[in-house]
Structure 1
Amino acid sequence: MKKIFLSIALLSNMMFTACEDMLDVEQKATSSTANFYKTDADAESALTAMYATYIGEIGATEGIWNAYIMGLNYSADDVFAAGGNIDDHADFRRLNEFRYDPSYAPISTLYNHIYKAIYSANLIIHYFGETADTPVKKQAVAEAKVMRAWAHMLAAQVYYQPPLIDHLITDEKPVNAESQKAIFDWCVKECEEALSDLPERKGKNDQEGAWVVTQGFARFVAGKSALFAGDNAKVISVMKPLVESQNYDLVPGERFRDLFHVEGDGCEEKIFEFNYVTNTAAAGGTEGWRGGNNRGRWMVANVLNWRGDDIKGGGTSPLICSTGGWGGGSINHEFAHKMLANDGDSYRRKATFLTSDEFFYDEKLCGWKSDATCTTRADKEFDENRGITNTYGSFSRSDVMEVKMMMHPNDADLSAGDNCNNTNLCIARLGEAYLIYAEACLSSQPDEAKKYINKIQQRAGSATVSATVDLEVLQNEKQYELWFEGCRWFDIVRWGIAKQCYDKVLDNVPYQTDEYWTSGGSKPHKLVYDIRHPYAEANITLKFVEGKNEYWPLPQNIIEINDQIHQVRGWAN
Structure 2
Amino acid sequence: MLVSLLIVSSCSDSFIEVEPRGTELEDNYYRNAEEALAGLVAVYDQVGGMSNGLINKFIATNSASDDHYAGGGSANDVTGIQVWSNYTLDPATGPQGDLWNRGYSGIFRANSILGHLPDVDMDDNLRARYVAEAKFLRAYFYFDLVRFFENIPLIISSDLGDFKNIPQVDPSEVYTQVIEDLIAAIPDLPATVPVATEGGRATEGAARALLGKVYLWQEDFAKAAEQFAEVNGTPGGTSQFGYSLLPNFGDLWIFSNKHHSESIFSVNHTSEGQWGDWGCIACAEGNWLNIMINPRGYTAIDASAPDYVSGWSFNPVTPSLEAAMTGDPRYSETIADLQTMEDNGLVTYEKGYQNTGFFIEKFTSRQENVATGGNMEGNFEQNLYDIRLADTYLLEAEALVRDGSNTARAQALLDAVRARVGLASTPATFETIKAERRLELAGEGHRWFDLVRWGDAATVLASRGFVAGKHEILPIPLFETQDTAIEQNLEYGGTK
Q: TM-score, normalised by structure 1?
A: 0.75
- Whether 1:177 aligns to 2:159 is no
Q: 1:454 aligns with which of 410, 415, 423?
A: 415
Cross-structure match for 1:152: 142
Superposed CA deviations along residues 254-275 of structure 1, whole A, max 9, x for unmatched, are: xx23323413211111112233
In structure 1, what is the equivalent of residue 15 of structure 2? Answer: none
Q: Which has the greater radius of gyration?
A: 1
Question: Contact 2:268 / 2:383 at 8 angstroms: preserved in 1?
Answer: yes
| Aligned-residue offset at 1:141 | 0.5
Q: 1:128 to 1:252 in 2, by over 3 A?
A: same
SS at match of 1:220: helix
Superposition deviation, residue 38 in structure 1: 5.1
Show the counterpart of 2:484. 562
Q: Do the aligned partners of residues 61 and 112 (structure 1) sit closer, same or farther apart at CA in structure 2, a change above 3 Å counting?
A: closer
Equivalent in the alignment of 1:499: 458
Distance 1:144 1:449, change over 3 A: same
Aligned partners of 1:415 and 1:405: how far apart in 2? 21
Listed one character per residue, the Cα deviations across residues 106-136 of structure 1 (whole Å, up to 9, x for unaligned) are: 2111101110011111112122258897001
Amino acid at match of 2:416: K
Deviations 1:501-524 (A, max 9, x none): 0124x3xxxxxxxxxxxxxxxxxx
**Aligned pair in 2 of structure 1 residues 387, 266: CA closer, same or farther (>3 Å)?**
same
Residues 414 and 474 of structure 1, relative CA distance in 2, 3 Å threshold: same
Contact 1:210-1:272 within 8 A present in 2 as well: no
Whole-angstrom CA distance in 1 between matches of 2:227 and 2:396 = 9
Write the distance in 2 (CA, Å) between the matches of 1:85 and 1:48: 37
Distance (Å, rounded) in 1 between the aligned partners of 2:493 and 2:63: 20
Give deviations 1:179-219, integer Å, cap 9, x for gaps: 2x4423432221111111111115xx845554101101111
Residues 1:95 and 2:78 are matched in the alignment: no
1:143–1:213 contact (8 Å) kept in structure 2: yes
Secondary structure at 1:271 match in 2: strand
Q: In 2 relative to 1, CA 83–36 (structure 1 residues): closer, same or farther, beyond 3 Å?
A: closer
The alignment partner of 1:428 has SS state of strand
Structure 2 unaligned spans of 5+: 11-21, 234-238
- Give the corresponding residue for 2:310: 324
Q: Deviations over 1:399-448 (max 9, x none)?
A: 64431222233332232333332212322211111111111111212111
Query: SS of the residue aligned with 1:326?
Result: coil
Distance 1:215 1:307, change over 3 A: same
1:271 aligned partner: 264
Work out the CA distance in 2 between the residues paired with 1:19 and 1:456.
43
CA 1:306/1:29 → structure 2, altered by over 3 Å: closer, same or farther? closer
Alpha-carbon separation, structure 1, partners of 2:468 and 2:5 = 30
Structure 1 residue 227 displacement after superposition: 0.8
SS in 2 for 1:427: strand
Aligned to 2:295: 306
Distance 1:142 1:404, change over 3 A: same
Give SS of 2:133's match.
Answer: helix
Q: Which residue of 1 aligns with 2:52?
A: 62
**Which residue among 318, 322, 333 is the counterpart of 1:336?**
322
8 Å Cα contact 1:185/1:225 also seen in 2: no
> What are the Cα deviations for residues 149-208 of structure 1, in whole angstroms up to 9, with x where unaligned?
0000111121122222222242143322212x4423432221111111111115xx8455
Cα displacement (A) at 1:88 = 4.2
Cα deviations across residues 234-283 of structure 1 (Å, max 9, x unaligned)? 11222211111241111112xx23323413211111112233233437xx
Aligned to 2:155: 165
1:190 to 181, 186, 189: 181
| Other structure's SS at 2:169 match | coil
1-structure distance, mates of 2:375, 2:189: 37
Find the aligned partners of 1:207 and 1:452 in 2 and give their Cα distance.
30
One-letter identity of the residue aligned with 2:361: V
Work out the CA distance in 2 between the residues paired with 1:143 and 1:297. 23
RMSD: 3.1
The amino acid that maps onto 2:37 is: E
**Contact in 2 for aligned 1:356/1:401 (Cα 8 Å):** yes
Matched length: 472
Three-state SS of the structure 1 residue aligned to 2:266 is: strand
Q: What amino acid sits opposite 1:465 in the alignment?
A: S
Identity %: 24
Aligned mates of 1:141, 1:294 — CA distance in 2 = 27
Deviates more, 1:474-483 or 1:23-32: 23-32
In 1, Cα distance between equivalents of 2:376 and 2:86: 31
Secondary structure of the 1:22 match is helix
Q: What letter corresponds to residue 70 of structure 1 in structure 2?
A: I
Residue identity opposite 1:416 in structure 2: G
In the TM superposition, residue 25 of structure 1 has moved relative to its aligned partner by: 5.2
* Equivalent in the alignment of 2:43: 50
Alignment deviations for residues 36-76 of structure 1 (CA, whole Å, 9 cap, x no partner): 44543343232233223x25xx343525x232222121111
Among 349, 357, 368, the residue aligned to 2:331: 349
Contact 1:261/1:407, CA 8 A, preserved across alignment: no
The answer to whether structure 1 residue 444 and structure 2 residue 405 are counterparts is yes
Q: CA 1:257–1:546 in structure 2 vs 1: closer, same or farther (change >3 Å)?
A: same
Instruction: Please give the alpha-carbon distance, in whole angstroms, between the structure 2 residues aligned to 1:129 and 1:236.
Output: 35
How many Å apart are 1:95 and its aligned residue? 1.4
Alpha carbons 1:233, 1:440 under 8 Å: kept: yes
**Cα gap change, 1:357 to 1:259, in 2 (>3 Å):** same
Distance 1:291 1:68, change over 3 A: closer
Question: What is the distance in 1 between the residues matched to 2:480 and 2:315?
Answer: 29
Partner of 2:471: 549
Correspondence 1:222 to 2:211? yes
> Residue 313 of structure 1: CA displacement?
5.7
Q: Tell me if the contact between 1:188 and 1:223 (Cα under 8 Å) persists in the aligned partners.
A: no
Residues 321 and 568 of structure 1: is their aligned pair in 2 closer, same or farther, counting only changes over 3 Å?
farther
Residues 47, 395 of structure 1: alpha-carbon distance in 2 compared, 3 angstrom cutoff: closer
Deviation at 1:389, TM superposition (A): 6.9
SS at match of 2:112: helix
The equivalent of 1:78 in structure 2 is 67
Whole-Å separation in 1 of the counterparts to 2:253 and 2:145: 24
Report matched runs for 1:20-59 at 5 Å.
21-24=4-7, 33=27, 36-37=29-30, 39-52=32-45, 54-55=46-47, 58-59=48-49
Partner of 1:537: none
CA separation of 1:70 and 1:484: change in aligned 2, threshold 3 A: same
Q: Is the 8 A contact 1:273 1:427 kept in 2?
A: yes
TM-score, normalized by length of structure 2?
Answer: 0.85
2:360 to 397, 402, 406: 402
1:376 aligned partner: none
- Residue by residue over 1:212-232, the C-alpha shift from the partner in whole angstroms, topping out at 9 and shown as x without a partner, is 011011111111111111111
Partner of 1:14: none
